[in-house]
């Protein structure tokens, strides 16, 4: 097994364990057992549990959403935002990000760096993609946003699409599990957002 394949297997095991068990049960020993590897192999890849979970966050952030493909660049702004804000359908467990968030919050006091990396490697990646599209749209005159307002607008749009995360953490039944439900919320959010940032006529 080459190093990249071994690392992928470890991350998959850690993310799966995070989805299936309590945060305090996601130990290096448990991850090693689930990945059918030794703890020594894990520590050869990652210096600490915090580093490993940080890599999980980064991997999960990349798998949640995808950037635009070259053939999608000429789509309308609404369609480009729709693509960027669509959960990757290949995700086997859409609830895994919520469980990872729950685990990070539970350990934020002990592992503050891990909590900080959540924003950067989770929602932060999507916000960066949205900022690029909104910047291009503002330059083209499709929306009326100043450069300094674009990061906040991108975060606002993501919040509108994803909903109240705290409420979902407290009551998992509030999470939209069906793709059709998530798509409907996404489309409503994009329509409301664009209605608020389109240029107004005199």
CA atoms within a 13 Å half-sphere pointing along the CA-CB vector of 74:
1
pLDDT at 117: 64
Confidence of residue 163 (pLDDT cuts 50, 70, 90): confident
Helix count (H) and strand count (E) of the chain? 11, 0
- Residue 179, pLDDT score: 77
**pLDDT band at 174; cut points 50, 70, 90:** low
Percentage of the chain modeled with pLDDT above 90: 42
54 to 17, 82, 168: CA distances (angstroms)? 15, 28, 22
Higher pLDDT, 177 or 128: 128
| Count of CB atoms situated within 10 Å of the CB of 181 | 11
| Predicted pLDDT of residue 178 | 73
Please, is 28 exposed, middle or buried when counting C-beta atoms within 10 Å of its C-beta (0-12, 13-18, 19+)?
middle
Determine the average pLDDT of the residues in 188-195.
96
Average pLDDT, the chain: 83
pLDDT at 38: 92
Render pLDDT for 6-27 as a digit per residue (tens, 0 to 9).
998 998 898 888 777 776 788 8
Nearest to residue 127, comparing CAs of 162, 98, 96, 101?
162
- Tokens, residue 54: 């940080």
For residue 168, what pLDDT is reported? 66
Tens of pLDDT along 87-97? 765 555 556 66
Q: Is 35 helix (H, G, I), strand (E, B) or coil?
A: coil
pLDDT in tens, 31-80: 999 999 999 999 999 988 888 887 887 777 777 778 899 999 999 999 99
Would residue 172 be called left, alpha or beta, if left means φ above 0 and alpha means ψ between -120 and 50 degrees? alpha
What CA–CA distance (Å, rounded) separates 181 from 85? 13
Q: What percent of the chain has pLDDT over 70?
A: 78
In the chain, the domains with their CATH numbers are 3-197 (1.10.357.10)
């Amino acid at each position: 097994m080459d190093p990249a394949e071994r690392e992928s297997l470890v991350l998959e095991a850690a993310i799966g364990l995070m989805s299936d068990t309590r945060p305090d049960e996601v130990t290096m020993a448990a991850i090693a057992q689930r990945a059918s590897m030794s703890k020594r192999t894990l520590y050869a890849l990652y210096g600490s549990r915090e580093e490993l979970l940080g890599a999980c966050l980064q991997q999960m952030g990349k798998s949640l959403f995808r950037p635009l493909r070259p053939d999608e660049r000429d789509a309308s702004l609404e369609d480009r935002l729709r693509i960027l804000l669509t959960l990757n359908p290949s995700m086997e467990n859409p609830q895994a990000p919520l469980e990872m968030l729950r685990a990070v919050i539970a350990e934020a006091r002990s592992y503050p760096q891990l909590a900080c990396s959540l924003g950067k490697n989770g929602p932060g990646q999507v916000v960066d993609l949205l900022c690029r599209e909104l910047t291009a749209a503002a330059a083209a005159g499709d929306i009326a946003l100043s450069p300094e307002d674009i990061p906040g607008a991108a975060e606002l749009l993501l919040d509108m699409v994803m909903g109240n995360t705290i409420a979902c953490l407290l009551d998992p039944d509030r999470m939209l599990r069906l793709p059709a439900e998530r798509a409907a919320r996404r489309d409503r959010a994009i329509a409301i957002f664009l209605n608020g940032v389109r240029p107004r006529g005199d």
